[in-house]
Copies of this chain bind each other. A is one copy, B any other.
Amino acid sequence: MMSGLKGKVAVVAAGHSRWGIRNATWRELAQEAGRELFKAVPDLDRKDIDSLFVGAAEPERFAFQSHVAPLVADMLGLKPWRVVQRTELACSSGQSAVRSAAMAVATGMSEIALCIGVEKMNLPNMAEAQTSMACVLDREFDGPAGASAPPFFALTAQRHMHEYGTTEEQMALVSEKNHENSTSNPYAQFQKPVPRDKVMSSRMVAPPLKLFDCSGITDGAAAVLVTSAERAKEFTDQAAYILGSGQSAIGGNLANLASWTTWEPAKIASHEAYKMAGIEASDLDFVEAHDCFSISEIIEYEDLGFCKKGEGGKFIEEGNPYIGGKIPFNPRGGLLGMGHPFGATGISQIAEVLWQFQSKVPKKRQVAGAELAMTHNLSGAANVHSVLVWGRAPTVGG
């Protein structure tokens, strides 16, 4: 029954805009990513794209614009006639768009679907932009208490330090690693190394999180083309196939968190995805995970199944999540290195998986011989986690 999407759906092409503080509107960014995708599949007739899925978290606030999917279609000269929608799941909106496209393809509702994730977050009025960013948390219950992402993840980090002895130095290693990875990513917002000392001495944002423990405020877009496993060969010799999917939501506001340091939905979502794929965490060759803050990646080592609870700090100290290590985390550069345009991040991660499988990334960040990968996003107060498992082949070991 729950074979679900396994092996049926392929990502066959990707496109990416430059990320950073961009002098461009949200739809110009979407257009930039879409056009780059079209260059990768020159034989594709845009008229054959029957469906469009846009991932965006809050264009209503950042651009005073709803109904964004058809505007993207218009910018790219598309006239989809089967499924057209935007998906929103805050910082996981991009992956949600791809999951929706995958379901459309797996049912036969769509033959060729375009997914574009986009967010324009740097605005003339940055105070308003930052207030808007906070609406991914529970505004009604937690907003009055001052909750926004940095203090929430700061409290999470404090508690993890208290319970497990995790250190600020260990968190700095995550930031150093991901900034190092993004030095070889020309799309990244941050392209210079940030050594651990620089992380440690950067200005305090919300104790213990310092500036370089936090992902940036980013404008950007990314795009992938989704089709059936059967049709994938029309577009590429090497696609990325969906093998597993899981999403879990538990609780909405901070008062309902069962734990600050164990992300139960991460465990459930990854378990579901591994089960569908028929694999275990240890089978994966690399992971694109949601390091919105350095502490996030440390908890993800634990709750996605790569080390025991509380040992995430030690896990990076021992060199495991580096390229060439036991399980590379975020070869793309992560949110810390790439920046984090909410709706685009999940799709950029998937583009990285495709390009890794196609050996199209610079050698420095290439994960040699990767066959299996995972993309992971969290959203809100880490109360929702979303996971997709990807294979170089539509069957495991195939």
Across-interface contacts of A66 in B (CB, < 8 A): 57-58, 61, 88, 90, 135-136
Across-interface contacts of A2 in B (CB, < 8 A): 108-109
Q: Is the beta-carbon distance between A86 and B85 smaller than 8 angstroms?
A: no
Partner among B27, B58, B83, B107 whose Cβ is within 8 Å of the Cβ of A60: B58
Question: Could you say which of A60, A74, A89 has the most chain B C-beta atoms within 10 Å of its C-beta?
Answer: A60
Query: Which A residues between 228 and 282 are near B, CB-CB below 8 angstroms?
Result: 245-253, 256, 268-269, 272
A68-B84 contact, Cβ under 8 Å, with A107-B4, A139-B63: no
Across-interface contacts of A27 in B (CB, < 8 A): 140
User: Is A203 engaged at the interface, CB distance under 8 Å to the other chain?
Assistant: no
Distance (whole angstroms) from the CB of A254 to the closest CB of chain B: 11
Residue of B nearest to A101 (CB): B103
A80-B248 contact, Cβ under 8 Å, with A87-B87, A384-B70: yes
User: Is A82 engaged at the interface, CB distance under 8 Å to the other chain?
Assistant: yes
Q: Is the beta-carbon distance between B252 and A80 smaller than 8 angstroms?
A: no
User: Is A5 engaged at the interface, CB distance under 8 Å to the other chain?
Assistant: yes
Question: Could you say which of A57, A139, A247, A253 has the most chain B C-beta atoms within 10 Å of its C-beta?
Answer: A247
Q: Is the beta-carbon distance between A109 and B57 smaller than 8 angstroms?
A: no
Chain A 89-130: CB-based contact to B (< 8 A → 1; otherwise 0): 110000010011001101111010000000000000000000
A74-B251 contact, Cβ under 8 Å, with A82-B272, A96-B85, A108-B2: yes
Residue of B nearest to A138 (CB): B71
**Distance A5 CA – B82 CA, assembled complex (angstroms):** 12
Across-interface contacts of A87 in B (CB, < 8 A): 85-88, 100
Distance (whole angstroms) from the CB of A89 to the closest CB of chain B: 5
Q: Is the beta-carbon distance between B89 and A88 smaller than 8 angstroms?
A: no
Q: Is the beta-carbon distance between B272 and A74 smaller than 8 angstroms?
A: no
Across-interface contacts of A107 in B (CB, < 8 A): 4-5, 8, 103, 106-107
Chain A 358-393: CB-based contact to B (< 8 A → 1; otherwise 0): 000000000000000000000110011010000000
Across-interface contacts of A386 in B (CB, < 8 A): 84
Distance (whole angstroms) from the CB of A275 to the closest CB of chain B: 11
Q: Is the beta-carbon distance between A383 and B70 smaller than 8 angstroms?
A: yes
Question: Could you say which of A8, A25, A106 has the most chain B C-beta atoms within 10 Å of its C-beta?
Answer: A106
7 A-B residue pairs with CB within 8 Å: A3-B108, A60-B60, A67-B137, A70-B251, A82-B247, A83-B99, A103-B103
